[in-house]
Amino acid sequence: MNTPVPAGAEPALRDDESRADHIAPVIPLADTTTNGADVSTLSLREALALLASRLDGRLAIPGDPGWDEARSAWNLTVDQRPVAVVVAASAADVVRTVETARDVGLSVAPQATGHNAAPLAADHGLADAILLRTHELRGVEVDPDARVARVEAGALWGDVVAAVAPHGLTALAGSSHDVGVVGYTLGGGVSWLARSHGLAANHVLSIELVTAEGHLRRVDAEQDPSLFWALRGGGGDFGIVTAMEFRLHEVADVTAGMLLFPVERAEEVLQAWREWTTTAPASAMSVGRVLHLPPLPELPPFLSGRSVVVVEAVVQESPDRADGLLAPLRALGAELDTFHPQPTAELLALHMDPPEPSPGFGDGMTLDELTPEAVRAFVGAVGGASGTALMTIEIRHLGGVLRPAAAYRAAAGFAVPAPGATAGFDAEYLVFAGGMALPGMEDALVRSLGRLFSAIEPWRADVEYLNFAEHRRDPRRLFGDRLERLREIKRAVDPTGVIRSNHPVR
């Protein structure tokens, strides 16, 4: 069941209000006009040529040198075939691209790193769209006194962490240095501090975006609050973000690391971890994980060519209190224990995500609960004797302020901001599974993922996590009873569908 959003969390228009009452001021830009040209009278090729001549960045069309590189996603199996690719070098480039697309009847699909691109490209989804790459817009500004960061559309979490760490500050970052800040945040954003601090989306203070009308605007809780609500957890369907500001946090050193065991102990270890999570405080975020790894030279020797079960955790407590909390897990006798006090900047390496684009196949699911029977079913589907083709299969513990009903109170001493479209999850655990989609492996990966999801289906939650949905979903699976409100906002800000996202609300 999806918990209703409290009154005031998703502002609606009154009958006596106009949309103009809520629209944020337009941000002045350098001239973005077409110098008198009526783009609607030009052929598509002529319109794209005119756009290319006006860009600070560059435009590519099929057949151009570098076309395949320009259109490639993070997942190298995703075949993105847009009408053209624009690599933006400024916010003005975003405006120019939207204006051109609107005038010639195309859509614009913004993309920074290309994570979670499979739903966008599915079924020739870009055949009538310009792919707008923002990955070169990587500026990061930090105000350490206000504890606020402003990032451009293509900034990576590695960029942000490097900028804020010298000030003793922490961002609610993803699990890898090369995850894009904007896409991660628009989808919600589950960080290593999520159980205590909530979703990254709900620490955003303002967003600068280009609307379907081609206007660059700044929105926040006072200026266009409905659109601001939709952007924080509702995905990228409402405009093209060029920058955002969000809160930073003063978090002392954490105790973090992993415990590694041979895969033959998977059920024993994961059952013990499951039991541990039932009483773990909100200051502890953890993952139970099975890894089946090929013998790759870039992997450390203790992982290369092995199948293992791993428990990862981050504990925001003093070293002594963290040691006491971790004691039941350490009592299992891991062959490798890497837990140690560390600055939060080190957390980007904890999850050991692939450092570069690669061919992959995977998907996610949320679980209402994790019973002993659910763990047994999970291990049966992906354990050492399963014959699975999946490489990484994880269960993340949620709970804490990630539960919507708890997202409006202080937890573990941290004040939780008023929420956006995704306040949290009516789920206790989050599953993600994937593998390397090497030639000849595709069918085996499909079967293996299907077997896993069938095995744990009895514990499936009603609403899923957008950022872990690697294939198209009915939007009700992602947004539940918030969907109609999101659709109302989409109709108001983009009635003709100029903006294209990987998980559209309509």
Domains with residue ranges and CATH for the chain: 41-133 (3.30.465.10), 140-250+475-493 (3.30.465.10), 254-468 (3.40.462.20)
Please state at what angle helix 372-382 crosses helix 442-456, rounded to 10 degrees: 170
- What pLDDT sits at residue 286? 98
Q: Report how far residue 484's alpha carbon sits from residue 492's, in angstroms, rounded to the nearest whole number.
A: 12
* Residues 180-204, mean pLDDT to the nearest whole number: 95
pLDDT of residue 35: 56
What is the average per-residue pLDDT within 452-468? 97
Which of 20-24, 103-107, 308-312, 343-347 shows the lowest mean pLDDT across its residues? 20-24
- 396-436 pLDDT, tens digit per residue, is 999 866 766 454 444 434 454 578 999 899 899 999 999 99
Q: What rounded mean pLDDT belongs to the chain?
A: 91
pLDDT at 417: 58
**At 386, is the secondary structure helix, strand, or coil?**
coil
Q: Which of 18-22, 189-193, 265-269 has the lowest mean pLDDT?
A: 18-22
Q: Tell me the CA end-to-end span of the chain in Å, nearest whole number.
A: 22
| Nearest of 59, 62, 58, 42 to residue 104 by alpha carbon | 42
pLDDT for 347-403, tens place per residue?
Answer: 999 999 888 899 999 999 999 999 999 999 999 999 999 999 999 999 999 986 676
pTM of the model: 0.91
- Cα three-residue angle 104-123-43, rounded to 5 degrees: 20
Q: What pLDDT score does 30 carry?
A: 60
Count of C-beta atoms within a 10 Å radius of residue 387: 12
Who has greater pLDDT, 20 or 339?
Answer: 339
Burial of 310 (0-12, 13-18, 19+ CB in 10 A): buried
Number of Cβ within a 10 Å radius of residue 10: 22
C-alpha of 190 from chain center: 8
Give me the pLDDT at residue 212, please: 98
Rounded average pLDDT over 25-30: 70
Instruction: Give per-residue pLDDT as tens, 112-143.
Output: 999 999 999 998 889 999 999 999 999 999 99
Mean pLDDT on 81-109: 98
CA angle 476, 443, 78 (to 5 degrees): 60
Question: Residues 6 or more apart from 120 whose CB is under 8 A from it?
Answer: 80, 109, 111, 126, 500, 501, 502
- Is residue 505 scored above 60 in pLDDT? yes
